[in-house]
Amino acid sequence: MSTVLMKGNEAIGEAAIRAGCKAYFGYPITPQTEVLEYMSKRMPKLGRVFLQAESELGAINMVYGAACAGERVMTSTSSPGFSLMQETVSYIACSMVPAVLVNITRGGPGLGNIQPAQSDYFQMTKGGGHGDYRAITLAPATIQEVVDHVVLAFDLADKYRQLVMVMADGMIGQMMEPVTLPEMAEPQRPERPWALTGAKDRPKNVITSLFLGAAKLEQINLQLQALYREIEANEVRYAEYLLDDADIVIVAYGTAGRIVQTAVKRAREMGIKAGLFRPVTVYPFPYDRLRDIAEGARQVLVVEMSAGQMLEDVRLATRDAVPIRFFGKPGGVVPLPEDVLQEIKAVANQAAT
């Protein structure tokens, strides 16, 4: 275990390498281009596959190919590039091949800007591509977490034979923090009899997402749904900060979660009983735990760097049993802890009157 000061994007690359990522395909897009550049330096030295594709369309389809071959493969991109990838994300989900996708999210919609934002939440957690599918989406708040999540993503991808995504905003991609990296090790992987490795001593394998008969496609869908129920039962992750006696429960994830944590600390110093509930998996969303937490609260405050996307999941979780207030900054604006503290104080004062 080594502890180093690293930039988020580079830590993502190194974490993937340590997790045994055998192939990386990507395309430059701010604010994640350093992932591509880092991999371009490291992967060839290790005899692994690196290729800068002609577009995000190329990159995700190269990922799909390598995933069909059963290798650990990853791509990274940012919001507009992620939009380009949606068709093939849907194909990969249906095909049940493991792969990892890191989305370093930025301001949108449209070309937007290159500042950190959290406005790809719907796209990532509700299935940004067509059809009935979901993809496990991890939401780190620190560089250590993003390293842990990239490693976890490869393991979960293997466990469920699915695409697993990591949603980190541009702040996490660009900033530098001390991080402890895992050892370089050959990963323990399940057998992959389905992989396109050449039909030697076995019948041929076909990996397709085309099922022309409706009855058959229904069956495939039911299979996927059963998998998602299993994922929802077993892979929910969240973090809690000062929630035991909290009147005001603030729900935030990723960088917003980190900002809120500072605001909560300051609020507590002022005697306000605030606490933070931070989803770590945004799919599967921690509905049950959030519902339990919210039951004891007087007020829920949702803080997002968006116009309000996770907000809907919070409402779903709490069934509107507790008043919900929203504080959001869309367009790549990053709120300060001060801004969040003002909101918390307003909530606290409102309750007092």
Partner 1 sequence: MLQEKVVFQKPRALHDTTTHYCPGCIHGIVHRLVAEVIDELDVRDRTIGIAPVGCSVLAYNYIDVDFAEAAHGRATAMATGIKRVQPGHVVFTYQGDGDLAAIGTNELIHAATRGENFTTIFINNAIYGMTGGQMAPTTLPGQVTSSTPYGRDVQQAGYPVRVCEMVSTLTGAAYVVRRTATNPKEIRRLKKAITTAFKVQMAGLGYSLVEVISNCPTNWGMTPIESLKWIEASLIPYYPLGDYKVIEGVSRL
Site string for partner 1, 272-311 (x = CB under 8 A): ----------------------------------------
**Per CB under 8 A, which region of 108-116, 199-207, 216-224, 338-346 contacts partner 1?**
199-207
What phi and psi, each to the nearest 5 degrees, are found at residue 103?
Answer: -115, 110
Using CB under 8 A as the binding rule, the residues of this chain from 203 to 232 that contact partner 1 are 204-210
What phi and psi, each to the nearest 5 degrees, are found at residue 155?
Answer: -70, -45
Examine residue 141 and tell whether it contacts partner 1 (CB under 8 A): no
Q: Which of 35, 68, 157, 301 binds partner 1 (CB under 8 A)?
A: 68
Of 269, 252, 240, the residue nearest 324 (C-alpha): 252
What phi and psi, each to the nearest 5 degrees, are found at residue 57?
Answer: -60, -45
Min dist. Cβ of residue 271 to partner 1 (A): 57
Q: Which of 25, 154, 277, 285 binds partner 1 (CB under 8 A)?
A: 25
Examine residue 66 and tell whether it contacts partner 1 (CB under 8 A): yes
Min dist. Cβ of residue 89 to partner 1 (A): 10
Examine residue 73 and tell whether it contacts partner 1 (CB under 8 A): yes
Site string for partner 1, 83-112 (x = CB under 8 A): ----xx--x---------------------
User: Can you read off the two tokens belonging to residue 171?
Assistant: 């702040």
Q: Which is nearer to partner 1, 90 or 125 (CB)?
A: 90
Examine residue 71 and tell whether it contacts partner 1 (CB under 8 A): yes
Examine residue 312 and tell whether it contacts partner 1 (CB under 8 A): no
Element holding 317 (H helix, E strand): helix 310-318
Distance CA 162, CA 154 (A): 10
Strands 23-26 and 73-77: parallel
**Per CB under 8 A, which region of 34-42, 45-53, 132-140, 142-150 contacts partner 1?**
45-53
Of 142, 96, 87, 139, the residue nearest 118 (C-alpha): 139
Q: Which is nearer to partner 1, 116 or 129 (CB)?
A: 129
Distance CA 266, CA 268 (A): 5
Examine residue 51 and tell whether it contacts partner 1 (CB under 8 A): yes
Q: Which is nearer to partner 1, 40 or 209 (CB)?
A: 209
Examine residue 54 and tell whether it contacts partner 1 (CB under 8 A): yes
Q: Output the furthest CA–CA distance in the chain (Å, rounded).
A: 77
DSSP class of residue 39?
H
Of 163, 33, 16, 12, the residue nearest 98 (C-alpha): 163
Examine residue 80 and tell whether it contacts partner 1 (CB under 8 A): no
User: Can you read off the two tokens belonging to residue 88?
Assistant: 């093939």
78, burial (CB in 10 Å: exposed 0-12, middle 13-18, buried 19+): buried
DSSP class of residue 162?
S
**Residue ranges that bind partner 1, judged by CB under 8 A:** 22-23, 25, 49, 51, 53-55, 57-59, 61-69, 71, 73, 87-88, 91, 196-201, 204-210
